[in-house]
Structure 1
């Protein structure tokens, strides 16, 4: 089920079959959760469904990833609060704020308030992230120890990696995928250790989607470079 990229790489058109497949998959997960299949809670089911749809829309560069992502932040905020992953819970609030910014930026952040194109991360941004991720991880770890977090170091590290990734995504930087991949590799065993099997599976799916996303965004970026 291929989706086409028009002559302008900013715009990605998803086919009707692709929309049906994505939404049907999400609906099946939600129904299974509400029926109690496999011990999945409704909150975890909705988090899985909205998260999967959101990431696929990001892969396809579709601007509707942002409102779906905002809904996903609410469900995961509740889920992480219940499982004492407090950094991840707080992360959802920051995601929400960055999601509002990213939505507006993708629509109007380009030249003359046009839609934003994929670009590379600047040297200044790399320097900022090189300082932010380790320093933030170190500081947040101590906070999580004080509040009796479940996995202070790993929770702090994934939080910082995810914040870096979300910032780059809101700027439509190609390298956002590298940070998502690094975070997802840690998230899968972390959530398994907290008994969140479905969420761990979701992040394994996210990891696969990230690999697809790198390829799709790189092709779109190269296409634009060839035209300019």
Structure 2
């Protein structure tokens, strides 16, 4: 029992300091996003860059690729939050449109099946389809966050719940704990953005669909 606890503590604390830096910056970027702070984007870029290394070392190749997508989307989202509204104004929180749900659902299904097949047959990924599914949902959630759609937090709540056991299984204990915290942050973000959307609607500053 003591030996098992020692192994757990060693893996969680001393095995990869890089992961701990990624954990701290990851927490910070989600908290900033929940607060609608533009600073979430540069912090997210740093965190994603670190996680490319962490996930590659743990053979989570789909999630490694995901971090690269997140970096690109963060750069684009940074611009969108500043100038993506009507007449190049700042975006306000709005609701997801029906056509967005449709193409995001189809895209996630195609990605999960296609990339899951690739991971299963050409890599040593032990959970190829689940790895691909979490990547697909995360990309959809990131797109909605980039457009300041309120429902992005629904997707983050769901995918965070999946990531906790996956990352624990991969012995990424600090990151697994981080995703458990993300669940609470996602709920907080939803409540904050819902309030912001109600204010925007009441004041007539809601951006039109783009």
The reply on whether 1:172 has 2:173 as its aligned counterpart is: no
Where structure 2 has 5 or more consecutive residues not aligned to the other structure, the ranges are 1-10, 205-210
TM-score (norm 1): 0.82
2:45 and 2:95 map into 1 onto residues whose CA distance is: 25
TM-score (norm 2): 0.89
Please give the per-residue CA displacement for 1:92-145, whole angstroms capped at 9, x wherever unaligned.
111111110000000111111111111111111111012011121111111111
For the residue of structure 2 that corresponds to 1:173, the secondary structure is: coil
1:220 and 1:107 map into 2 onto residues whose CA distance is: 16
Where structure 1 has 5 or more consecutive residues not aligned to the other structure, the ranges are 1-35
Q: How many residues align?
A: 193
1:40 and 1:65 map into 2 onto residues whose CA distance is: 27
Contact 2:12/2:172 (CA < 8 Å) preserved in 1? no
Please identify runs of 4+ aligned residues in structure 1 that moved more than 4 A: none
Q: Name the counterpart of 1:76.
A: 51
Q: Name the counterpart of 1:41.
A: 16
The offset of 1:66, in angstroms, is: 0.4
CA pair 37-80 structure 1, distance change in 2 beyond 3 A: closer
1:201 to 154, 177, 181: 177
What aligned pairs does 1:175-186 form with structure 2 within 5 A after superposition? Answer: 175-186=151-162
- Once structures 1 and 2 are overlaid, which stretch shifts more, 135-144 or 79-88? 135-144
2:186 and 2:180 map into 1 onto residues whose CA distance is: 10
2:36 and 2:15 map into 1 onto residues whose CA distance is: 30
Higher RCO (C-alpha under 8 Å, 6+ residues apart): 2
Q: Name the counterpart of 2:129.
A: 153
2:167 to 188, 191, 198: 191
For the residue of structure 2 that corresponds to 1:63, the secondary structure is: coil
Contact 2:12/2:173 (CA < 8 Å) preserved in 1? no
The offset of 1:37, in angstroms, is: 7.5
For the residue of structure 2 that corresponds to 1:217, the secondary structure is: helix
